[in-house]
Structure 1
Amino acid sequence: MKYRIYTVILSVVLLASCSALVSQNSGQRTKASSLVDYLYPDGQSREAHQPQIPVLTLPVKVGLAFVPSSHWQHDEIQSKDQLELLERVKQSFMQYDYIDRIEVIPSTYLKGGKGFTSLEQVARLYDVDVMALVSYDQVTQSLENNAAVLYWTIVGMYLIPGNENSVQTFVDTAVFDVKSRKMLFRAPGINKLEKRTTAIGVDDTLAEKSMQGFHLAVADMSTNLDAELARFKTRVKEEKIAKIQHSENYSGGGAMGLILLLSGFVLLVIRAGFNNRADNLSTQNAFDAKHMPSSKGVGSH
C-alpha cells in the first residue's frame, strides 16, 4: 500500500516537472522596469522631491528612452528591439508643431545612475528639454493542462499541446519636464496573448509572443499617447499645468498660425486696394487739372 502511495506521489512530481525538464520558462516569469524605482531610488529622494510648475520653451526638444530593466545584470528587451519599439512611439510626437525634434536614447545611457540627477545628465548630453520614459511589466505563464499526462512519452513532448501559455504586457510612457522635474502627462498600453503549445515548443512560443505582446501594447499606448499630446495645449490653457514661452524662431504653427497667416494676407490685400485707389485718384486729379477748363476761365466769358 505504501509502495503505491509513493509511486503516485513520485508520478505527480515527475508530471509536474516535465515541462521544467525541457524549458526554462515553465511556470510564471516577469520582465519589468520600474519608473518609480528609477526616479526615486530611496525614501529620501521621494521626500525631497518638490516639483515646480514647468516653464516650457516652444518648440520643445524631446528625449525618448526605455527605463532600464529591474534585472541587475541585463535588459529584458534586447537593444535592437528597444530601438524598434521606440521608433514607433516617436511617430506619435512628430506630428505636433510644438515639438522641435525627438531623440531616441538607448537605455544604456540611463544605467549609469538613478534619480533625476542622472536623468538631467542624459538630457544635457542629448540637448533635450523633456524626457519621455517608457516602462514595462510583462508576465509570461506556462501551465500544463490535462493533455500533459501524455508527456510520459518522448513523442508526446513534441506532438501533444499540453501547455497553456499566456503573455500579459503593460507599457507606459511618462513625459517629464527635466528642469522642473514635473510629470506633464502619461499614456498606458496593454495587451494579452494566449496560445497552447507542446512542451518542447514552450520557449519558442513564449519568445515569439513576448515580442508580439510588446509591439501590440506599444501600438495601444501610441493611440493613447496621440490623444494626450493633442490634449496638452488645451490642458496648458485650462488647467495651467505649465507656463509657455516661445523661442525666437518659433512661429506657433498649427491652426493659430494659419489664422495669423490668413489675417496678414487679408490686411495686405486691403492695403493694396487702398493704395491702388489712392493712385487712381491722384492720376484722375492730375488729368482733370490738365484737360478740364477752370471755373475762372468759364466765368470771364
Structure 2
Amino acid sequence: MKFKLMMVVLSVFAISACSSLLMSNGNKGAISSSLMEFLYPDETSRAEHVAEIPTLTLPVKVGLAFVPSTNWARDGINSSQQIALLENVKKSFMQYDFINNIEIIPSDYLKGGQGFETLEQVSRLYDVDVMALVSYDQVTQSTEKKAALLYWTIVGMYVIPANENSVQTFVDTAVFDVKSRKMLFRAPGISKLEESSTAIKIDAVLAEKSIEGFTLAVDDMNKNLDAELSRFRTRVKEENVAKIERRAGYSGGSLAYFGLLVLGATMVLRRKYSAA
C-alpha cells in the first residue's frame, strides 16, 4: 500500500515538474530592427527634409544590408544567416540589366553609427549609389494547450502538457538613393508558422522555426520586390520620380528604355506634323 502511494506521489511530482518547466518556457519574445530609429535617431535628424528628385546613374550600383537590431540588442539572426538571406534578395535585383552590381554589406558596418551620415560613409566604402535596407520584426510565442502527450514508463503513465509554438515574422526592404536621401520604393514580406511540442523541446522548436520564418518572409518579400521594381520603372516614366543618366560606355537598361521610347515618340510626332 505504501509502495503504491509512493508511486502516485512520484507521478504527481513528475507531472508537476513538467508543468513548472512548461510555465518557465511558455512566454512571448520579440526581436526587431527599426529602420526609422536607425535613419532618424534624434530630433535633429527628423527635421523636415527638402524634397529632391534623385538622379540615378545607370547601371545602378546597389548596396544591400540588414538594419542593426533595435537598441543594439542581439540580432535575431547571426551574420552567416543574414548573408544567406541577402543572397536570395540579391537575386531579385540581379535579373535587371539596369543594375550594375550588388554589394552585400554586413550589418556590423552599420553598427558604428546611425543616420544618413553612416549610410553615406558605408556607400562610399563599398562604392554604391543606392542602399537597400532590410528591417525585421519577429514575435515568438509558446502557450500551453489543452491537449497532452501520454508516455508509458516502467513505473506507470506520465502526462506531459503540449505547447503551441507560433512564430510571426515581418521583413521590409526600403531602397534609398544615398545622395538625395530619398526612398525610391519599399517591399514587405510576412510569414506565420505554428507547431506543437513538449515543454522540453520548446527552445529547439522555436529556434528552428525562427530561421524558417525569416526564410519564408524573405521569399514573400522577393515577390513583392519584383512587383515594386516594375512599378518604379513605370513611375520614372509617368511621374518623373527620378532623373536618369548613363555611365560612360553604357547604352542599355530597362529604365533607359523609357527615355528612349519617349524621345522616339516625340521625333515621330514632329516628323508627322512637319510633313502635314
Question: Common fold, TM-score beyond 0.5?
Answer: yes
Q: Encode CA deviations 1:257-290: one digit per residue, 9 max, x unaligned.
A: 7xx9xxxxxxxxxxxxxxxxxxxxxxxxxxxxxx
1:289 aligned partner: none
Asked if residue 19 in structure 1 is aligned to residue 5 in structure 2, the reply is no
CA distance in 1, matches of 2:159, 2:97: 55
Report SS of the residue matched to 2:63. strand
Report SS of the residue matched to 1:170. strand
Asked if residue 46 in structure 1 is aligned to residue 49 in structure 2, the reply is no
Kindly tell me: are residues 215 and 140 of structure 1, through their superposed partners in 2, closer, same or farther at Cα, counting changes over 3 Å?
Answer: same
Kindly tell me: are residues 245 and 115 of structure 1, through their superposed partners in 2, closer, same or farther at Cα, counting changes over 3 Å?
Answer: same
Q: Which structure features the higher share of helix residues?
A: 1
Structure 2: segments with no counterpart, 5+ residues = 1-15, 261-276
TM-superposed deviation, 1:160 = 3.7
Q: Encode CA deviations 1:79-128: one digit per residue, 9 max, x unaligned.
A: 00000000000000001111100000000000000000001000000000
CA contact (8 A) 1:31 1:138 kept: yes
1:249 aligned partner: 249
Q: Encode CA deviations 1:163-188: one digit per residue, 9 max, x unaligned.
A: 01100000000000000000000000
Asked if residue 37 in structure 1 is aligned to residue 34 in structure 2, the reply is no
1:214 aligned partner: 214
| 1:130 partner amino acid | V
TM-score norm. by structure 1 comes to 0.74
TM-score norm. by structure 2 comes to 0.80
Kindly tell me: are residues 150 and 17 of structure 1, through their superposed partners in 2, closer, same or farther at Cα, counting changes over 3 Å?
Answer: farther
Report SS of the residue matched to 1:50. coil
| 2:110 partner amino acid | L
CA distance in 1, matches of 2:55, 2:246: 10
2:90 aligned partner: 90
CA contact (8 A) 1:15 1:149 kept: no
Asked if residue 134 in structure 1 is aligned to residue 134 in structure 2, the reply is yes
Deviates more, 1:122-131 or 1:247-256: 247-256
Q: Which structure features the higher share of strand residues?
A: 2
Identity %: 66
CA distance in 2, matches of 1:18, 1:33: 30
2:107 aligned partner: 107
CA distance in 1, matches of 2:181, 2:255: 30
CA contact (8 A) 1:159 1:198 kept: no
CA contact (8 A) 2:58 2:246 kept: yes
Q: Encode CA deviations 1:19-73: one digit per residue, 9 max, x unaligned.
A: 244x4xx311001000000000012211143342111111110000000011524
Report SS of the residue matched to 2:171. strand
CA distance in 2, matches of 1:255, 1:29: 43
Report SS of the residue matched to 2:200. coil
Q: Encode CA deviations 1:145-170: one digit per residue, 9 max, x unaligned.
A: 1246989x9x99x9845101100000
TM-superposed deviation, 1:191 = 0.5
Residue correspondences, number = 240
Kindly tell me: are residues 253 and 42 of structure 1, through their superposed partners in 2, closer, same or farther at Cα, counting changes over 3 Å?
Answer: closer
Residues 45-64 of structure 1 mapped to structure 2, 5 A cutoff: 45-64=45-64
TM-superposed deviation, 1:232 = 1.9
Structure 1: segments with no counterpart, 5+ residues = 1-12, 261-301
